[in-house]
Amino acid sequence: MERNNNLHRQVASLRQSLFDQGYVDEQFIELEELQDDATPNFVEEVVTLFYNDSARLIHNIDQSLEEHPLDFAKLDNFMHQFKGSSSSIGAKKVKIECTKFMEYCRAGNVEGCKGTFQQLKREYAVLRKKLEVYFQYARPAGPTDTASYRPK
């Protein structure tokens, strides 16, 4: 029981810091509310889909940023998708960078786009690390959970 309480504290603390440090916003809570005992991994599953989408988009944007001249319409379109999925999981900081990028795109600002994209990739990497740790601890029926914690 003591072990469970410690784990709960750690999970709660990890979760709170995600919000306090601005990594996620209320949309993350909306997703949590869709999770229940029948779908205990829902949030993590949605976030995993986000990682898949993001990997593809980051790759496409990286490639597109190598072109001469830049195709701003194409970049804007990729970023619109990235912003959409970031918004859907409540990825606050990443979404902010997406918005900045799209503003630079619309202004035709090459350096702005490239610089912001580097920042976006950094934010994405940090968010991913934090979420991975959080889900590891928060995952139901983990090794330290006992039968009494999760009703069958």
| CB 70, CB 63: distance < 8 Å | no
Binders of another protein among residues 33 to 62 (CB under 8 A) are 33-39, 42, 45-46, 49-50, 52-53
90: left (phi over 0), alpha (psi -120 to 50) or beta: left
Backbone phi, then psi, for 2, in 5-degree steps? Answer: -60, -45
Q: How far is the CB of 35 from another protein (least distance, A)?
A: 7
**1 secondary structure, DSSP code:** -
Contacts with another protein, 58-97, as mask; x by CB under 8 A: ----------------------xx-xxx-xxxx-------
| CB 24, CB 18: distance < 8 Å | yes
Q: How far is the CB of 129 from another protein (least distance, A)?
A: 20
Q: Which is nearer to another protein, 40 or 112 (CB)?
A: 40
For residue 33, give Cα distances in angstroms to 89, 92, 113: 12, 18, 36
Residues of this chain that interact with another protein (CB under 8 A) are: 1, 5, 8-9, 11-12, 15-16, 27, 30-39, 42, 45-46, 49-50, 52-53, 80-81, 83-85, 87-90, 138, 140, 148-152
